[in-house]
Amino acid sequence: MPKIIPVPNELSQPFWDAVNEQRLVLQNCTACEKLQYPPQASCQACGSADGLEWKEVAGKGHIAAYIVIEDGRLNRRMLDQPYNLALVTLDQDPTVNFYSNLPGVPAYEVPMGAAVEVTYEEVAPGQLIHEWMVVE
């Protein structure tokens, strides 16, 4: 499946730098101890902009929900349809969610509630992305 090549900005650059090192880091608010993703200029929970720092997380989660894309309009993904789009919740903080196509899982065969781990795939020379894979 064709992957989107990230174009980091000032806010997301630390996240993508860590992904390129095969590490998963999230913003952590020191004022309220809330993790957040995607990166934002202030804490989505308490609004603090001064207490955001980057924190490495374990990269383990569970599949909370999924849909199957059968008639998507993105040209680069039309040939791959149908494909899964899963909502993954982070075990370390279930309020943090990620989306993933779950590499290796056939469409319509998503094991709801299954454990997943973050994995990394090169999408351009020197550029990795994070994805989530089902753990047996």
Domain locations in the chain as residue ranges: 9-57, 59-136
- Which residues is 67 bridged to in the sheet? 85
pLDDT at 81: 81
- The span from the CA of 72 to the CA of 84, in Å, is 11
Instruction: Report the CATH fold assignment for 59-136.
Output: OB fold (Dihydrolipoamide Acetyltransferase, E2P) (2.40.50)
* pLDDT band, very low/low/confident/very high, at 77 (cuts 50, 70, 90): low
Average pLDDT over residues 53-80: 86
* pLDDT band, very low/low/confident/very high, at 71 (cuts 50, 70, 90): confident
Indicate whether 98 pLDDT > 80. yes
Q: Which two tokens stand for residue 84?
A: 């899964």
- The span from the CA of 85 to the CA of 100, in Å, is 6
- The span from the CA of 81 to the CA of 105, in Å, is 13
* pLDDT band, very low/low/confident/very high, at 76 (cuts 50, 70, 90): low
pLDDT at 80: 73
